[in-house]
Amino acid sequence: MEKFTYVITDPAGIHARPAGLLVKEAGKFASKLTISKGAKKGDLKRIFGVMALGVKKGEEIEVTCEGADEAAAASALAAFFKANL
């Protein structure tokens, strides 16, 4: 299992557009990918789940990757967050 945390810097938080891009990125991997904010969890491959977390600027999220390509998924997603959010 691979894990990383990230603090959102985008002023609008994880709004519709980045949520869409994020889900698209997550879809490239076979591993089970979970995003959590505090106690709330969402499947990174499901756009409604990601949007429903309502992540705002300054909030910390944790991404968990579990599966055959977990290492690749974690590094790609970490890079995605850094570049887009």
Partner 1 sequence: MLVLKGKGVGGGVTIGTLAVFKRQETVVERHSITDIEGEVARFQAARGKAIEQLAQLYEKAVVDVGRDNAAIFEIHQMMLEDLDYIESIEGIIRTQEVNAEYAVQATAENFAEIFSSMEDEYMQARAADVKDISRKVLACLGFGSDAMESASEKFVLVADDLVPSETVQLDKSKVQGFVTAGGSVNSHTAILARTMGIPAVVCTGVSIGAEHDGKLIAVDGYAGEVFVDPDAATLSLMQAKLEQDVQHKKLLDELKGKESVTSSGQKVHVYANIGNTGDLAAVLANDAEGIGLFRSEFIYLENEDYPTEEYQFAKYKLAAETMAGKRVIIRTLDIGADKQAAYFNLPHEENPALGYRAIRICLEQQDIFRTQLRAICRASAYGKVAVMFPMIISLSEVRKAKAILQKVQQELAAEHIPFDKEMEVGIMIETPAAALLSEELAKEVDFFSIGTNDLSQYTLAIDRQNQHLESFFDAHHPAILRLIEMTVAGAHKAGIWCGVCGELGADLELTEKFVAMGMDELSVSPASVLPLRQKIRGL
Question: Residues 4, 10, 13, 15: which is the catalytic one?
Answer: 15
Under the binding rule (CB under 8 A), the answer on residue 49 touching partner 1 is yes
Closest CA to 73 of 36, 39, 22, 17: 22
Active-site residue flag, 15: yes
Structure tokens that stand for 57 in this block: 């600027």
Answer for which of 45, 65, 73, 85 binds partner 1 (CB under 8 A) is: 45
Measured distance CA(36)–CA(82) in Å, rounded: 17
| Planar angle of CA 70, 29, 61, nearest 5 degrees | 65
Q: Which stretch binds partner 1 (CB under 8 A): 28-36, 45-53, 63-71, 74-82?
A: 45-53
Q: Among all residues, which ones are annotated catalytic? A: 15
Residues near partner 1, by CB under 8 A: 12-13, 15-17, 19-20, 23-24, 43, 45-49, 51-52, 54, 56
